[in-house]
């Protein structure tokens, strides 16, 4: 299949190229980067020596017509106007936020601008989502934080273990999560040896996306308190998610065993998700360069809360890896194709 990547010069776009180079069923036909059009790909992504001599093309929807599947890796709000010009038979995975939210009011509140609508949400490990992705030609790739956080508590919600109205999240991300545009706050001199919270107090744009996904699992309204942290590392996410246990008779007994059994059952057969053995803790280094998810769960008896620690690579399972996983499903291919990489600690 001929593949296009629009926004190929960014961090997520570059990671997509790295994965697609070795994909046995996809051929890189059209690689676009508006601001870098005409430049050698290796001048921006020097590690992609397999693409030596190739240059980024201009962003042109007419050129995208030569492709059977196109990945859009553009900043939020920029994909929809281009996608509207493409015919329905072209499969599309959008790594931006343009088609993630089902509520126009939430889009206006957290993003602003014209609301483009909602597509199939591409988080295959949430029950029921995989079959929808497989039958779709347009898929909205989840946000990086949203992926880590939703997976952290989906089993607990499915098993009715927790109170969905009281979920608290503190999550740290590497600097690539902010994109490639130059920002003073992301200079090495600013982030080295320092941690800082940002967009806290319920204003981070992934908040409604996470609540929407978790509400869909059980039908019960979900509320999260989300504090993101900028970590002094290029890539990776560590999310700590806690929730008060529900008041229910079915929770009588050993909560540790009940919770672990629920998580093992929910993620049974999931290639990319590992619930670690007791005593092991997730590390961002263990998933770098992969589409993997590692998590650990615990019961805080003092506060009667479930605690979940989850790590992903924000450019892997949080962006490009998950986009390729979704594309495989959309094309009827094994979803692990081209995603065999393990972490590189």
Question: Helix/strand/coil (H, E, C) string of the chain?
Answer: CEEEEECCCCHHHHHHHHHHCCCCCCEEEEEECHHHCCCEHHHHCCCCHHHCCCECECCCHHHHCCCCEEEECCCCCCHHHHHCCCCCCCEEEECCCCCCCCCHHHHHHHCCCCCCCCCEECCCCCCCHHHHHHCCCEEECCCHHHHHHHHHHHHHHHCCCEEEEEEEEEEEECHHHHCCCCCHHHCHHHHCCCCEECCCCCCCCCHHHHHHHHHHHHCCCCCEEEEEEECCCCCCEEEEEEEEECCCHHHCCCHHHHHHHHHHHHCCCCCCEEECCCCCCCCHHHCCCCCCEEEEEEEECCCCEEEEEEEECCCHHHHHHHHHHHHHHHCCCCCCCCCCCCCCC
Compute the half-sphere exposure of residue 124: CA atoms within 13 Å on the CB side of its CA.
Answer: 29
Which of the following is catalytic: 67, 144, 259, 331? 144
Is 144 part of the annotated catalytic residue set? yes
Question: What end-to-end distance do the CA atoms of the chain give, in Å?
Answer: 33
| Catalytic center residues | 144
């Amino acid at each position: 299949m001929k593949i296009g990547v629009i926004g190929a010069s960014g961090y997520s776009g570059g990671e997509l190229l790295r994965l697609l180079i070795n994909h046995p069923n996809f051929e890189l036909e059209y690689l676009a980067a508006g601001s870098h059009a005409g430049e050698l790909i290796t001048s921006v992504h020097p590690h992609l020596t397999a693409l030596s001599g190739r240059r980024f093309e201009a962003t042109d929807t007419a050129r995208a017509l030569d492709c059977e599947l196109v990945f859009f890796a553009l900043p939020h709000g920029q994909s929809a106007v281009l996608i509207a010009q493409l015919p329905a038979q072209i499969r599309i995975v959008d790594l931006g936020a343009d088609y993630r939210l089902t509520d126009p009011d939430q889009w206006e509140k957290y993003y602003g601008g014209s609301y483009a609508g909602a597509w199939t949400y591409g988080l295959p490990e949430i029950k029921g989502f995989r079959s929808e992705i497989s039958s779709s030609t347009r898929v909205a790739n989840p946000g990086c934080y949203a992926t880590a956080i939703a997976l952290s508590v989906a089993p607990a919600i499915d098993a009715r273990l927790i109170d969905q109205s009281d979920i608290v999240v503190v999550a740290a991300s590497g600097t690539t999560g902010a994109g490639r545009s130059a920002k003073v706050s992301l200079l090495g001199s600013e982030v080295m040896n320092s941690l800082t919270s940002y967009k806290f107090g319920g204003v981070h744009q992934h908040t409604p996306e996470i609540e929407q996904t978790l509400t869909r699992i059980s039908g019960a309204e979900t509320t999260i308190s989300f504090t993101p942290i900028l970590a002094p590392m290029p890539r990776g996410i560590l999310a700590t998610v806690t929730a008060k246990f529900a008041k229910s008779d079915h929770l009588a007994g050993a909560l540790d065993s009940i919770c672990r059994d629920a998580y093992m059952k929910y993620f049974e057969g999931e290639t990319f998700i590992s619930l670690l053995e007791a005593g092991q803790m997730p590390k961002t280094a263990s998933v770098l360069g992969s589409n993997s998810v590692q998590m650990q769960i615990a019961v805080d008896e003092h506060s009667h809360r479930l605690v979940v620690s989850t790590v992903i690579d924000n450019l892997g399972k949080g962006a490009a890896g998950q986009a390729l996983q979704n594309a495989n499903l959309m094309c009827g291919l094994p979803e692990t194709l081209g995603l065999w990489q393990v972490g590189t600690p």
